[in-house]
Amino acid sequence: MEERLSRTHEINKAILKQGEISKKIKIGGAGLNGQDNIAVGLTKEVELIVEGTAGDFFGALNSSAVITLTGNIARFLGDCMSGGGIIVNGNADFGAGTYMSGGVIVIRGNAGDNLGQMKRAGAIIIDGDAGHSAAYLMMGGDMIITGDSDENLGDLMIGGAIYIGGTYSSLGRNARSVEMGLNDVNLLDTYFKHYGILAKSTTFRKILPVSSDPLTAIKAMAVTSKEGGI
């Protein structure tokens, strides 16, 4: 696209217009410089390639498009997305993948706090580090972190699985570390091969919820602590 755009509605209008005539859309040098709500609610099976710095809610409510962003991104990447894919060649801020119910998010950099909070399904892959409380209240799907994670990893998680290749400062409430099985290794290898990620699946650890009811687990922890005189 040769025309330089700068307003959110101009960029989104250009995306929708190109999507009517082509399944491959490229928005390069279009003035993307931190605007919020770009590429929101895409329902067609198109490939969107974007360059620049994106603001909040980039790719939110995506259901079908495969979106690639070369640049960094602010908060709530892919919020409530239900399908398709988002690949970020950069870093993402707070709350990427919040309420996600399908599709795949790949961040080829670091992710901020509360990654994948309340995620219901789908996969989030971080080829870098994650911040505080990754997978907070996660209900399903997979989260893969090739690097390290800050404290409270998997806090109050209800379902799904976390795979981490590095270290974590601490596990959250209702989260436990288990050994990986062959199916887990095969799953990671499939993701890594597809997205060109140079990580060794055999070095990862798997995090699962202690209970599907985190409140019950918290009560049990409180009773144990009381009995132990803590």
Q: What is the pLDDT along the chain (230 residues), one digit of tens a residue?
A: 444 557 898 889 889 888 888 999 887 665 788 999 999 999 999 999 999 999 999 999 999 999 999 999 999 999 999 999 999 999 999 999 999 999 999 999 999 999 999 999 999 999 999 999 999 999 999 999 999 999 999 999 999 999 999 999 999 999 999 999 999 999 999 999 999 999 999 999 999 999 988 777 666 666 655 656 55
pLDDT of residue 226: 61
Largest CA distance in the chain: 69
- Nearest CA-CA partner of 125 in 133, 135, 53: 135
The pTM of this model reads 0.91
Which residues, 6 or more positions from 183, have their beta carbon under 8 angstroms from its beta carbon?
none
Q: List the alpha helices (DSSP H) in 36-113.
A: none
What ranges do the domains of the chain cover? 8-227
Instruction: Provide φ and ψ at 222, rounded to 5°.
Output: -65, -40
Distance CA 93, CA 40 (A): 17
pLDDT of residue 212: 85
CATH class label, 8-227? mainly beta
Distance CA 12, CA 173 (A): 41
- Nearest CA-CA partner of 174 in 217, 115, 219, 224: 217
Q: What letter would DSSP give residue 94?
A: T
